[in-house]
Amino acid sequence: MMKLKGVIIQGSSRSDGNTAKIVSFVQEKTGFESIDLKSKNIGAFDYNFENEGDDFLPLMKEIVFNYDTLIFATPVYWYSMSGIMKNFFDRISDCLKTEKELGRMLRGKNMGMVSCGSDSELKKGFEMPFVESANYLGMNYLGNMHTWIENESIPESLEKDLSNFIENQLMISK
Ligand SMILES: Cc1cc2nc3c(=O)[nH]c(=O)nc-3n(C[C@H](O)[C@H](O)[C@H](O)COP(=O)(O)O)c2cc1C
């Protein structure tokens, strides 16, 4: 079987925080590479494409040309995905307008999501933008696992659930 090539896209406002701990774990289990959006300069969506020259387009090219599976790893900030991650999603609109070919290349790829909050409960509705964006872009949605950090590390029982999720949902090519 062909080896799945995947990438974990980290959207935290700190590169070495809680979401990064989850990303390291997922990376270890999957062998996927990771991209830290915090280290990139990605501006907000602009109707006049004023941010066209920033890091978004080269990054998007790198992603669509190299990977079949995209795992979004976002902290929970105010019941939603982080602003950094939302900017990334908003900018996909550039691909649907000025870079249509690039946008089309997302079709048939897999999308998964891992959220990281302070609470073990993820509020209803958090996952919807990911599910609907995958639908809109013609991507296969693999599912979400909510995570949190206790005493600087991943709780033991969560580690087990996360391993199962990775094995049974993220490592499957649909
Ligand atoms: C701006 C901000 C908003 C937050 N909002 C929530 C929230 O709505 N629900 C929640 O469970 N945790 C919330 N938290 C806590 C973070 O989700 C939690 O600490 C997370 O593990 C942080 O990951 P990070 O270290 O990658 O930023 C918030 C934290 C910040 C900084």
Length of the chain equals 174
- Specify whether the CB–CB gap between 12 and 75 falls below 8 A: yes
CA of 117 to the centre of ligand 1 (A): 5
Kindly tell me if the per-residue pLDDT of 98 is higher than 60.
Answer: yes
pTM over 0.95: yes
Which ligand 1 atom sits closest to the C-alpha of 78?
Answer: 8
If one residue of 15, 86, 118 were mutated to test the ligand 1 pocket, choosing by the most ligand atoms within 8 A of its CB, it would be 118
pLDDT for the residue numbered 54: 97
Percent of the chain with pLDDT over 70: 97
pLDDT at residue 99 above 70?
Answer: yes
Q: How far apart are CA 160 and CA 11, in angstroms?
A: 23
Q: What is residue 124's predicted lDDT score, i.e. its pLDDT?
A: 96
**What domains can be seen in the chain, in order of their start residue?**
6-170 (3.40.50.360)
Q: Which sign does the torsion angle of CA 78, 161, 136, 9 carry?
A: positive
Determine the angle formed by the axes of helices 83-97 and 56-66, rounding to 10 degrees.
80
CA distance 170 to 114: 10
Q: Sort 74 into a burial class: Cβ within 10 Å, 0-12 / 13-18 / 19+.
A: buried
Distance CA 115, CA 148 (A): 8
Over 90: is that where the pLDDT of 115 sits?
Answer: yes
Q: How far does the centroid of ligand 1 lie from the alpha carbon of residue 102, in Å? A: 32
The 10s digit of each residue's pLDDT in 60-81 is 999 999 999 999 999 999 999 9
Q: Which atom of ligand 1 is nearest to the CA of 117?
A: 17
Cα–Cα nearest to 145, from 132, 158, 157: 158
Task: Using the mean position of ligand 1's atoms as its centre, give its distance from the Cα of residue 170 in Å.
Answer: 24
At 15-71, the pLDDT tens digits run 999 999 999 999 999 999 999 999 999 999 999 999 999 999 999 999 999 999 999
| Helix ranges restricted to H, 32-82 | 56-66
Residue pair 22/147 in contact (Cβ under 8 Å)? The answer is yes
Lining residues, ligand 1, CB within 6 Å: 12-14, 17-19, 75-79, 116-119, 149
Q: Tell me if residue 56 falls in helix, strand or coil.
A: helix
Q: Interhelix angle for 156-165 vs 18-30, to 10°? A: 50
pLDDT at 4 over 80: no
